Copies of this chain bind each other. A is one copy, B any other.
Amino acid sequence: MAFRPALYIVKIMQVTIIAVGKIKEKFLQEAIAEYEKRLRPYMKLHILEIPEERRPVSATASVETRAMEKEGERIVAAIPTGSFVIALDVQGAGRSSEEFATAFRQWELAGKSHICFLVGGDLGFAPAVLARSDKQFSLSRMTFTHPIARFLLLEQIYRALRINHGEPYHK
């Protein structure tokens, strides 16, 4: 019996995270670095940090709105062409980790090979950013700081991939 080599064209998934603001806490920098390392075998991961718009602590609502819009313009400009865009928003739909894993698998099967997650800053997203996104998704009904949200997003992506690859992962 002749040996017939099978040819698999595996397109490695790309994930871009566009996040507003820097991570100041050392423990969160380390947490994020750890999950970047864990995700490396599964995907091409890029994290793009967008500078936070500077404003006085006691800025008026209109100054804050303008700052949010400026951040929004920078976010939209950074979105990679052809990517499937998911904004992390507390108002978005909540999902269990298993549902998130299933969604990830479905995006892959639908040929969405580049997923772009948006993590806003303290001000949240300008309407233009939400309008540019394909989905809005909430990590929790609770509000977390944006550095914590970035960490949790990476952890849930990692969990989703472990679930989809049938690999064990602690609850």
Contact = CB atoms under 8 A, between A and B. Distances in A.
Interface of A: 25-28, 30-31, 34, 90, 94-97, 100, 122-124, 139-146, 148, 152, 155-156, 159, 170-171
7 contacts: A26-B30, A27-B30, A31-B31, A97-B142, A139-B142, A140-B141, A144-B155
Given A27-B27, A28-B27, A148-B155, A171 B143 contact: yes
A117 to B, nearest CB: 14
Contact of A100 (B142, B146, B148, B156): B142
A143 B159 contact: yes
Contact of A145 (B96, B122, B144, B170): B170
A100 to B, nearest CB: 7
